[in-house]
Every structure is written in C-alpha cells, then in structure tokens.
Amino acid sequence: MLSEAVIFLDKEKNKRDRLEEKTKVKIEKLIEKVDENPYDPQRYYALGCYLTELQSFEQAEELFKRALNVFEGQEDKQSLLHYGLGNVFYATGLFKEASVEFKMLNGSKYESDAMLMMAQTEISNGNYQRALAYALTAFEKGNNQTRLDSCIVLGDSFLALGCFDQACEYYDLYLKDRPNDKHAVFMRGVVETGLGKAPDAYFGRAKQLDKEYYSKMIERLDDISKVINKGKQGGKDDRTR
C-alpha cells in the first residue's frame, strides 16, 4: 500500500511539474509577443488576462498600469487596458477601484462590456437596482455574447428584488443557450418556488450537474429567501451567489 501511495504522489508531482512548465512557456510566449510589438495594446491585454487567470494579481495590475503609461494620451488604446485593470480589481474584491476603471469606458467600444462588469460589481455590493440599470444597458447595447452574459446578471438581480416573472424570462433566455449552467438551473428552481410552483425538475437537474454545488446552495436557501424578502422591501444584501 505504501508503494502505491508513493507512485500516486510521484504521478501528481509530475502532473504539477508539467502544468507549471506549460504555464511558464505560455507566459514567455505572451511576453515575447509584447516585445515584438510594444505598441499593440491587445498584446498587453492578453498577457494581463492570463496573469489574472493564474491569480497573479499584483503582476497583472502592475502590467496594466505600465501599459497605460505606454499609451498615455491615446484613449482608444487605453480603453482596453482600463477594462483589463478593472477586471483585475474585480477579481481581487476591490470593487470601488474596479468601478473607477469601468466608468472610464463610457462612450468607448468596450462600454457594454464595462456596463456588464459594473452590474456584477453592484451585485457583489448588494445593490440590485443599480445592477439592473447597468445590466439592462449591457443587454441593449452589447453584442450577442454580452447580451447572453447579461441575462444571468439580470436574472439574479430581478430574483433578488422578488420580481419572479422577469427573473424567469432572463434565466430562460440564458438557459436556452447554456442549458447546463448549474447556477442558472438552480436559481431557475428558486424562481419556481417564488411563483408557487414545484422546483423539483430544476433542483434535480442542478444536482445531476454538480452534486456538491447543489448541496451548498440548498443549505443557503434560507439566506437566498432573506435576500429576496429584503429586495421586495427595497433593501440591500449580497448573498445570492
């Protein structure tokens, strides 16, 4: 048994080593692309996004700030970098700082994406009315992908405010394209409860998709109900996700 455990640990270590090497190679390639053309904001953005994905937030923040200096006075090129920096702040829970970056994108070609991120920021702060305003703007002005992503935010916001019919509408739009999204499926079940209907079909589906997630959300049903009740009264909370 001990030898089997050693073999297993060796295999896991080899997997980690391969993953680390793969990550290192990708970062080096992205850096090379920046060096090849340091006046292309897309290259900084790609590197910054990958660093954010790796949760190397300090490095990502520093990169975006340096890149903004490179393109000082060029608003069209800086807009993408402000969006990237806003995402870094959002990922680290610095919502106030994230909002500052996203608001700089008003009137830019990234405005609808920024509005969607503003909506998510407001949800994180429990400000569902504001989240609705931003998400509706993103839904109306965005491309197909942004419109779709807006649907889940609109569903969550309407549900938190106790507007079950509207929440149902946007969750259904989202699930039409992404039927296996566990969050949307579960929350659609919560909507059924609010409408006085049986949620079994949606809860059962959510359990099939991810049993651990389902169990966690079932335990939080009382909290979710409190959020909805506060929303009906015009209150503020932040526990729907």
Convert the pLDDT of each residue in 81-100 to its tens digit.
999 999 999 999 999 999 99
Mean pLDDT of 195-210: 95
Does the pLDDT of residue 9 top 50, yes or no? no
Model confidence band, residue 19 (pLDDT cutoffs 50, 70, 90): low
Does the pLDDT of residue 41 top 50, yes or no? yes
| Lowest pLDDT segment from 176-180, 185-189, 228-232 | 228-232
Give which of 129, 130, 97, 98 is closest to 114, Cα–Cα. 98
What's the chain's average pLDDT? 89
Q: What is the CATH number of domain 26-95?
A: 1.25.40
Q: Residue 8: what pLDDT? A: 41
Same fold, 26-95 and 110-241: yes
Domain ranges of the chain: 26-95, 110-241
Q: What is the DSSP string of 10-48?
A: HHHHHHHHHHHHHHHHHHHHHHHHHHH-TT-HHHHHHHH
Q: Which CATH class for the 110-241 domain? A: mainly alpha
Q: Yes or no: say if 228 and 111 are a contact pair by the CB < 8 Å rule.
A: no
Q: Residue 226: what pLDDT? A: 78
Give which of 3, 241, 1 is closest to 122, Cα–Cα. 241
